[in-house]
Structure 1
Amino acid sequence: MDEEQMADHGNDAAVGGIAADRLRSIIERVERLEEERKALAGDIKDIFTEAKSAGFDVKVIRQIIRLRKQEPSEIEEQETLLDIYRRALGM
């Protein structure tokens, strides 16, 4: 095998200093995860549809989910500011 053929053969594994197999593996893993995320998003949408049909307010459920992700001190600070702003506006 001459030098040019060896260089061409090496291009299968590394092109321009990039390990093509490794790159392909990373891209395929991300694509699989994106598909899983899409499926999960569909499942979540179905749950919100179920909640709505059961008479629950989906907007409020989303707020509760957002609050549950926060630290209690963050929630308290936001509620305090909300109260101050409401009073400032005469609400």
Structure 2
Amino acid sequence: MDDAAATHLTETTKEKLRQTVGKIERLEEEKKEVAEQIKEVYAEAKAFGFDVKALRQVIRLRKVDKADREEQEMMLELYLLATGDA
């Protein structure tokens, strides 16, 4: 965007843009903080003796609809059988 285009923005539009950028920056910071908290919870789980890799898989699977998950598992089983790995 050149200077001529920027001068065509109204003050209201410029302020809305600044607010939007500020909001995104705040949310990115919150996301970073939440990610750190999740990392700490996984560390606690590991300290309790839980298998973190399995725990991550459980979390991932719980996000998937049960019917979709069952379909994925059936497809995986079929592929494993077809490749002789089951």
- 5 Å-filtered alignment, 1:22-61, equals 22-61=16-55
Amino acid at match of 2:33: A
TM-score (norm 2): 0.81
Q: Deviations over 1:16-72 (max 9, x none)?
A: 225211111110011111111000000000001111111111111111111111111
For 1:64, the equivalent position in structure 2 comes to 58
Unaligned 5+ segments in structure 2 are: 1-5
In the TM superposition, structure 1's runs of 4+ consecutive aligned residues that sit over 4 Å from their partners are none
For 1:82, the equivalent position in structure 2 comes to 76
TM-score (norm 1): 0.77
| Partner SS state of residue 32, structure 2 | helix
